Structure 1
Amino acid sequence: MRKPNDFDKPLEIRYHEVEKGTYCPDCFHKLEKSSERKYQCTQCDKIFTSRMIIEESCKDLPILFPNIVITTPLLYDWFGGQMSDHNLRRYLKMYRTKHPFNLLHKKK
């Protein structure tokens, strides 16, 4: 039988204590908006679409905060107001039709 270790414990991260904004999925530095739907990393100079950034966050948020329900206001806050609520709403609507149970239900 396997012994429990620190990796078995749930993460203890408080949502209100996390710094909000858009971050590079590769090097984790801040992203700056370079055009209407594109962001550029201040460190590695890679360019990401807003859709790529939203998709990564929709994967990461449930891992960091297992009981969270992903909504447009939550994503708007998570990105520090850097993305339009219209863009976020449009993406969530599309994502929910592809993966309806990933975002709609709280995990117990």
Structure 2
Amino acid sequence: MENKELQSSSPLESTTIDYEKIAASEPFQHLVKSKRKFLVPLTVFFLVFYFALPFLTSFTKMLNHYAIGDISWAWIFAFAQFIMTWTLCTVYVKKANKFDDMAGNILEEYKNKGSNV
């Protein structure tokens, strides 16, 4: 059976970390639930918004109408996808930094409590 304790990757630290114990801890479970609560709706929104353009242009005539001068709703929707992508990337990076901080705090708590997470 393989050893579940892994050596820390930092050359300055010689402590072993029991990742299974950390994964079973309440703070880590909270982190996983928080990430899932954030990522699943964001991913679903992105996929629906992304695939709506080819679906609407292929199977309906809804986006064929002119919105502003000679610019149709299809062009506006396509441009909105760029804005949506930039916005979601910005939101994700900010939220991922918070998740990284939470993970770092979990590891620090583990190390400070002497492996009694």
Q: TM-score, normalised by structure 1?
A: 0.26
Structure with higher Rg: it is 2
